[in-house]
């Protein structure tokens, strides 16, 4: 679940604006606010930021009048909003960007063929639809790529609605429903001042429900995958997350540059963010059965290589499936859960969300989330947490999986650096990393190298001792046990320096999944 906060990539609101022959109407918006929310705390109506401010001293004017208050959008007057977004015909069929202080409105107006159909706003007053516009409101500081993504999403919705209008008069029927709601609510406004017309529109209009679902999905996952009128699919990922697949150890000089990319390796596992049933239910009817088989076989304790062997899939095919699931925000990549894994509370975890506390208590029989998290206030091995849970391994693993899924835990890995004190420097001088050729000669002179097998194993692992590879990666690619790697570290502990921190590639993926 994406928390809004001041995240510049989540939407603030979505609008549907229609231009008719005799009126401009904002027919729907979500989220909508009751009339009392449209006023300031002092009880005065909000003024348009476009209005002139009269003052005797221009230096005392407020330098900024924002539309966002408490992370929510304070709307302008409906008539002004509809005027802004029902553009001239020559501006149709192209994106529009309107920035008002701290909010950017992104839309894609489409010209409507008024001869195709009309809606009736009363028995003697036919109103033809001339133009319509789907508009998203986002923060003005949103990155350029996010703005472009919302432009594309608005275009996808607008063209899908246009297709359905030509096919079966979808927009005409929906506008008629919305106008009827406006008339009905207007007639009862004197009796129920708190009633909101958009409440009624949402209950009766399929298009309004579709736009609401799109907004909710964007807020939750940053992705949209739904059908307009149950026919035209609109699928989009606002964050445009990509991943990169590699099948061999990565050395610093060989890491390809990738913006917002991550590296998937055979020893990684996947952690689904939704149930298999939920993911499959959102897939297209012609979806690949290979993805469904992978979802059913996935397990946070199974490496991808193991899953590939079980399913008789090529490893590259498994990587492509994982990429696809990451792209659509259905999974994150983790290191397979073992009792040697070390976890700690994520430094960026939002621990103030009461909804997480309630959800955790419902999932684990009223266990206290705060008490469980306190177990990970310091780096804690999974084996130690299992012991604190009374040896109930299944429950402990499920708790860790839940905490990882919600971004509350972070795994720590041990990285190894080869360092050597210079012979001419003082003992107080910091260690320095030495070239490989020089390190080889010094290794052969090391006391532990008298045993040839230990010396050969150390030389074999030497390329990994650059601080870029953790112990689990060394174990996988060199087919060694943890005890064998730790034995090498102990034998050469005077020239090896250990650092414990998160895997930067996995943390990059997890942060993107929280956007």
Nearest to 306 by CA among 269, 332, 341: 269
Q: Is 448's pLDDT higher than 90? A: no
Tell me phi and psi for residue 415, to 5 degrees. Answer: -105, 150
**pLDDT for residue 440 is more than 70:** no
**What pLDDT score does 80 carry?**
79
Mean pLDDT of 345-349: 88
The average pLDDT across 317-328 equals: 89
Q: Find all residues with CB under 8 Å of 425, minimum gap 6, and list them.
A: none
Write the pLDDT tens digit of every residue in 476-502.
Answer: 889 899 999 999 999 888 888 898 988
Task: Round to whole Å and give the CA distance between 471 and 410.
Answer: 17
Max Cα–Cα distance, the chain, nearest Å:
102
Q: Is the pLDDT of residue 157 over 90?
A: yes
**CB of 376 closer than 8 Å to CB of 385:** yes
Instruction: List the structure tokens of 261.
Output: 């990319």
For residue 27, which of 209, 188, 208, 203 has the smallest C-alpha distance? 208
Query: Which ranges of 368-470 would DSSP assign to H, the alpha helix?
Result: 369-374, 382-388, 393-405, 436-444, 452-461
Mean pLDDT of 171-190: 82
- Rank 2-6, 64-68, 228-232, 444-448 by mean pLDDT and report only the highest: 228-232
For tokens 């947490």, the residue is 385
Residue matched to tokens 């991808």:
304
Tokens of 33: 């606010």
Residue 445 has pLDDT above 80, yes or no: no
Q: CA-CA distance, 488 to 461, in Å (whole number)?
A: 9
Whether the Cβ atoms of residue 105 and residue 97 lie closer than 8 Å to each other: yes
Contact 194, 266 (CB under 8 A): no
- Give the separation between CA 249 and CA 463, rounded to whole angstroms: 10
Per-residue pLDDT, 468: 86
Per DSSP, the three-state class of 378 is: coil
pLDDT value at 401 more than 90: yes
> What band does 114 get if pLDDT is binned at 50, 70 and 90?
low
Q: What is the pLDDT of residue 338?
A: 92
How would you label 477-513 residue by residue, b for 16+ Cβ within 10 Å and e otherwise?
beebeeeebeebbebbeebbeeeeebbebbbbbbebb
Confidence of residue 323 (pLDDT cuts 50, 70, 90): confident
Q: What is the spatial order of strands in the sheet that 13-20 belongs to?
A: 24-30, 13-20, 129-139, 103-111, 96-100
Q: pLDDT-based confidence at 326, cuts 50/70/90?
A: confident
**Structure tokens belonging to residue 387:** 């012991």
Cβ atoms < 10 Å from Cβ of 143: 10
Collapsing DSSP to helix, strand or coil, 111 comes out as: strand
What is residue 507's predicted lDDT score, i.e. its pLDDT? 59
Length of the chain: 515
pLDDT on residue 425: 44
Question: Are the beta carbons of 314 and 304 closer than 8 angstroms?
Answer: no
Nearest-angstrom CA–CA distance, 38 and 105: 19
Is the pLDDT at 458 greater than 60? The verdict is yes
Contacts of 41 (CB under 8 A, 6+ apart): none
- Among 64-68, 263-267, 381-385, 418-422, name the most confident range: 381-385
Q: How confident is the model at residue 53 (pLDDT cuts 50, 70, 90)?
A: low
Q: Where are the domains of the chain?
A: 13-44+65-236, 244-336, 342-412, 414-504
């Amino acid at each position: 679940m994406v928390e809004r906060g001041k995240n510049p990539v989540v939407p603030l609101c979505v609008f549907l604006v229609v231009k008719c022959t005799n009126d401009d109407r904002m027919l729907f918006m979500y989220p909508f606010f009751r009339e009392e929310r449209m006023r300031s705390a002092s009880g005065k109506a909000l003024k348009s930021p476009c209005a002139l401010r009269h003052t005797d001293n221009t230096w005392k004017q407020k330098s900024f009048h924002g539309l966002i208050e408490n992370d929510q959008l304070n709307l302008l007057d409906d008539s002004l909003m509809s005027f802004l977004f029902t553009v001239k015909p020559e501006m149709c069929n192209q994106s529009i960007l309107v920035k008002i202080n701290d909010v950017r409105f992104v839309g894609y107006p489409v010209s409507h063929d008024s001869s195709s159909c009309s809606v009736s706003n009363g028995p003697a007053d036919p109103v033809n639809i001339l133009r319509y516009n789907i508009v998203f409101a986002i923060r003005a500081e949103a990155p350029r790529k996010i703005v472009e993504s919302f432009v594309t999403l608005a275009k996808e919705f607008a063209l899908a609605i246009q297709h359905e209008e030509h096919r079966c008069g979808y927009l005409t029927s929906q506008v008629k429903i919305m106008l009827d709601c406006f008339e009905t609510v207007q007639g009862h406004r004197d009796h129920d001042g708190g009633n909101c017309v958009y409440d009624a529109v949402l209950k009766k209009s399929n298009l309004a429900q579709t736009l609401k679902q799109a907004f909710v999905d964007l807020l939750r996952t940053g992705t949209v995958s739904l059908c307009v009128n149950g026919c035209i699919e609109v699928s989009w990922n606002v964050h445009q997350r990509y991943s990169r697949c590699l099948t061999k150890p990565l050395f610093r000089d060989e890491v390809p540059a990738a913006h917002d990319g991550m590296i998937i390796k055979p020893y990684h596992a996947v952690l689904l963010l939704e149930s298999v049933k939920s993911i499959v239910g959102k897939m297209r009817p012609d979806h690949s059965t290979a993805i469904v088989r992978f979802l059913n076989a996935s397990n946070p304790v199974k490496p991808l290589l193991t899953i590939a062997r079980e399913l008789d899939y090529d490893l590259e095919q498994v990587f492509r499936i994982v990429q696809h699931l990451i792209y659509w925000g259905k999974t994150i990549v983790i290191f397979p859960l073992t009792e040697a894994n070390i976890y700690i509370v994520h430094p960026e975890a939002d621990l103030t969300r009461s909804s997480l506390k309630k959800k955790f208590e419902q999932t684990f029989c009223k266990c206290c989330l705060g008490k469980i998290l306190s177990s990970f206030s310091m780096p804690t091995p999974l084996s130690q947490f299992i012991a604190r849970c009374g040896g109930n391994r299944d429950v402990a693993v499920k708790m860790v999986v839940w905490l990882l899924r919600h971004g509350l835990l972070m795994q720590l890995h041990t990285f190894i650096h080869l360092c050597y004190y210079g012979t001419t420097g003082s003992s107080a001088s910091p260690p320095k990393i030495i070239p490989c050729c020089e390190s080889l000669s010094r290794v052969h002179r090391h006391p532990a190298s008298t045993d040839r097998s230990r010396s050969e194993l150390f030389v074999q692992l030497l390329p990994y001792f650059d601080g870029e590879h953790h112990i689990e990666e060394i174990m996988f690619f060199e087919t060694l046990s943890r005890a064998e790697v730790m034995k090498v570290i102990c034998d050469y502990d005077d020239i090896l320096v250990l650092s414990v921190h998160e895997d930067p590639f996995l943390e990059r993926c997890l942060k993107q999944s929280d956007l």
